[in-house]
Structure 1
Amino acid sequence: MKKNILYIIMLLLLIGSSNQLQAQKRELSLTDALEMAKQGNKTLQVQTLEEMHSREKTRETKGGLLPNISANAAYSHYFDKQQIFLPGSFAGTNKAVQDVAVGGRNTYNGFLSLNQPIYAPGIHRLTKAAVINEKIENEKTAKLKSQVALQVSTKYFDILMMNQQLNLLKQSLQRNIKALNDSRSLFAQGRGLKADTLRSFIAVENLKSSASYLNNNIDVSSIELKRLIGMEDPDEIKLSDNLDFDHKTNQSEFYNVDEALKIAETNRNDVNIQELTINFQQKKLQAAKAELLPQLSLIGQYQLQAQADNMNLDNYTWPRTSFLGLQLSVPIFNGNRNNSLINQENIRVQQEKIRLIDLKDGIKTELAIIISKWKEAITQLDIHQTTVKSAELNYQMMEDRFKNGLGSRLELTDAELALTQSKINYLNAVYNLRVLHVELQHALGLLK
């Protein structure tokens, strides 16, 4: 019996420890989340591989300027000997042209060939274009890191805001539960109205519903945040930062639009990408024009060959042939395809220049909107700070009136609702400032 009791106690301890492990939460700061995203985000991993692919593409293009050396070997068996045609007098016949069987039925041929470009302007310019394309991919990676940082920061702030909203709702729920209990007590004593009790009950249930909805949204947002940072740990996350924000300290970062635009043009990756793209298209244009120029190559070959009617390889003779020379290729006419290609690349260059102008206009508009929203958010924050203080004072006054029998439960309920709503509005104002600050950093190209 004692052993059974001991086993039960051990089992309960194991269950308790497993539940404790399952309920364990991992603390996560915003800095930690951003660092984890740099390594674990799947989209970033794909772009990193694209960056590596562009480096290999550059190596491939540069390889066109290096020597091309190849070795070849061939064996052929002729069922009918090869035929050549000679003047009849050469072959000892009276025919004007006489066919003569030559060579062996078994032929062997092996050679080593060399081709080294000496003057190949097209390949040189394509190599420069490939190097620029590699820089474009590097900038795309940096741009994607900034976008991921913005997504992670925004999602982190979303969860922080919802957690604080949930705390406010829980506080309001406790106050409304107390109000419901008071209403039921007064109604039971015949000193209260049924409508007051019903109104308090509805308020409590609505708050429970809102809290449940927020809890679910927090769970969903946590899952999305874990996906963004590449976190595969099944443990729940607990955010260690808070939503508090000293907007006065960061006020100096909100320049006027022209100053902000200069900073953005220097730091934004998409501007760098567009400028590099223009350069890339110009190099492709130069490469297209280079196809009209002559090309010079060094060529060479070393050859071994043999022919016989038998397979006695030891008795074969292997004559050698070798040469080294220059090969000049001059384009003359190819159906105007090169001219068409040059016109196409010219059009591409013009398109990319227009895209750069449009991009800068879009950035200026984006910065103007963010700066305008920031100013409005500061105004809203000041308003809601004052509103919260007033709502707290009003609630305290209504509570005192109600306790002294001078006010009604409806007045106290309205005051409590106004207090909760004013605190939520203030929380939203702080949240807006945090998000706008991150958006500005991203718009300036300073969010890494």
Structure 2
Amino acid sequence: MKNYLLILAFLGLGVGQVHAQEVVQLTLKDALEYAMENNVNTRNARLETLVSKATIKETTATGLPQITGAFNLDYNPSIPVVFLPNEPPFGNPDIPGDVIPARFGISYSSGLAVNVKQMIFNGSFFVGLRAARTLEQLTDFDLKKAENDVVENVKKAYFGVLVSQERVKLGKANLARLDTLLKETKALNEAGFAEKIEVSRVQVQRNNAYTQFEQSIAAYQISQQILKLQMGMPMDYELALTETLTELNPAAEIQELLTTEASGRVEMNQLETNIELAKLDLKNNLVQYMPTIDLNGNIRRSGAGNELNRVYNKQNWFGSSLIGISMSIPIFDGLAKSARIQKNRIQISQLENQRNFLTESFKNEVFTAKTNLKNDFDLLEVQRENLDLATEVFRVAKVKYQEGVGSNLEVVDADAALIQAEINYLGAIYDGLISLVELEKALGLLKADLTN
């Protein structure tokens, strides 16, 4: 954790200081800790957990009293006309026609009101509250899955940087070895002890080694960028990894993993939670056949006047209130709820089928990962032995050539075999580390807990 805090402190420096210190030294644990905080997927997953908590509060709020206020001020430019029959007791023989037009109303009116609504019973509310809490559990599992994915990707990228770094070192050593051989062969040619074709042969080998060296440098730079991307680190920084491939490839850990049984996988937890959400959706559609009951209340004060300055006179204002219970009973919706219920049951069956497949898929992943790791571990021993043999063959071929009992072609061939053996050995180490990560994932051990 101290290393991690140092990294954060470094990344918090000013711009001038950043240019003065461009290299960030990292161990694998440092890289994982940094990625947990800065990778975009883990950051978004943590934000999603906050969204789910807010959703619980939002759902709970619908079951609490809903209080609203209201105010109105109305003006009638033309008061509506109401027609009355022109007959007793309203009749007026002085007015021709069978109706009498009358205006009922005033020019200005205003009112203040407070409305209260309290849910008494609504089956969807209780189901929705439980679904919101289940959704919170799902986002927690999603966060764990995102963290596990980051661990997997950062480990693979970290190992890729180490392999590329070792290839650069080997490429530099190969160039130095061939430069020495080329210099010696040129000297022998100038002294008349070697033919020109021998010089050309070594030169060709040296040019090939140089090409591989340049490719290794490019691969190393690209692998660093990939690691920084997986960590969520700005691309401006230069990385210096402080561990070696050998340190991260302990044989004892490999043997222990090969005998370890699988534990729980977060993917199964995600699927189980999705099944629970689907069942709650089904339950929500079932409870919609039940009535909903609400308590309603209202308090209002109203006033009016034919002139605006008289609307708010105290003597023109009167109060009213209301309290009651309302019930809504579903009768017929065109079988829409029935169709939704049928769809829910089919979706649950699909998820349960997926659960059965996922169980068998996990077993296959464990078997495949263990087989690959054991095979890669065996191949690593073979490549290590092959590298030792290739090194010895090159040494003997060079000694024989220097003593005049061997040919230049033998030396060039031995050097090419040594370079290939080095590449194969590094590839075997990398394959073994990747298989190790795959097995940890298959066993459910690739977790983001970095306390140990």
TM score, norm. by length of structure 1: 0.88
Cα contact 1:113–1:300 (8 A) shared by 2: yes
Q: CA deviation at 1:315?
A: 5.2
- Secondary structure of 2:151 counterpart: helix
In 1, Cα distance between equivalents of 2:104 and 2:284: 49
In 1, Cα distance between equivalents of 2:21 and 2:305: 86
In 1, Cα distance between equivalents of 2:22 and 2:111: 75
In 2, Cα distance between equivalents of 1:327 and 1:55: 31
Q: CA deviation at 1:276?
A: 0.2
Which residue type is aligned with residue 347 of structure 2? R
RMSD: 2.4
Q: CA deviation at 1:224?
A: 2.0
Provide, for residues 86-109 of structure 1, a one-character-per-residue CA deviation record: whole Å limited to 9, x for no partner.
Answer: 777785328998664323221112
- Secondary structure of 2:327 counterpart: strand
Structure 1 counterpart of 2:330: 331
Tell me, which stretches of 5 or more residues in structure 1 are unaligned? Answer: 1-17
Give the fraction of aligned pairs with identical amino acids, expressed as a percent.
Answer: 24
The 5-angstrom pairing of residues 337-352 of structure 1 reads: 337-352=336-351
- Secondary structure of 2:193 counterpart: coil
Residue 292 of structure 2 is aligned with which of 289, 292, 295? Answer: 295
Structure 2 counterpart of 1:102: 104
Q: CA deviation at 1:227?
A: 2.1
The 5-angstrom pairing of residues 71-220 of structure 1 reads: 71-82=69-80, 92-93=90-91, 100-220=102-222
The 5-angstrom pairing of residues 424-435 of structure 1 reads: 424-435=423-434
The 5-angstrom pairing of residues 229-378 of structure 1 reads: 229-232=231-234, 234-244=236-246, 245-255=249-259, 259-260=261-262, 263=263, 266=264, 268-311=265-308, 312=310, 313-314=312-313, 316-378=315-377
Q: 1:284 to 1:242 in 2, by over 3 A?
A: same
In 2, Cα distance between equivalents of 1:23 and 1:211: 27
Structure 2 counterpart of 1:379: 378
Q: 1:284 to 1:24 in 2, by over 3 A?
A: closer
Moved more, 56-65 or 69-78: 56-65
Provide, for residues 319-369 of structure 1, a one-character-per-residue CA deviation record: whole Å limited to 9, x for no partner.
Answer: 111122211111111222211222222222222222222222332222222
In 2, Cα distance between equivalents of 1:367 and 1:162: 29
Which residue type is aligned with residue 253 of structure 2? T
1:31 aligns with 2:29: yes
Tell me, which stretches of 5 or more residues in structure 2 are unaligned? Answer: 1-15
In 2, Cα distance between equivalents of 1:376 and 1:131: 45
In 2, Cα distance between equivalents of 1:128 and 1:86: 59
In 1, Cα distance between equivalents of 2:198 and 2:333: 93
Q: CA deviation at 1:168?
A: 1.6
In 1, Cα distance between equivalents of 2:276 and 2:255: 37
Q: CA deviation at 1:81?
A: 2.5
Provide, for residues 276-321 of structure 1, a one-character-per-residue CA deviation record: whole Å limited to 9, x for no partner.
Answer: 0000011011111111111111111101112221221225422111
Cα contact 1:247–1:433 (8 A) shared by 2: no
Cα contact 1:308–1:316 (8 A) shared by 2: no
In 1, Cα distance between equivalents of 2:21 and 2:43: 31
In 2, Cα distance between equivalents of 1:284 and 1:153: 39
- Secondary structure of 1:325 counterpart: strand
In 2, Cα distance between equivalents of 1:76 and 1:91: 33
Which residue type is aligned with residue 38 of structure 1? M
The number of residue pairs the alignment matches comes to 423
In 1, Cα distance between equivalents of 2:57 and 2:88: 56
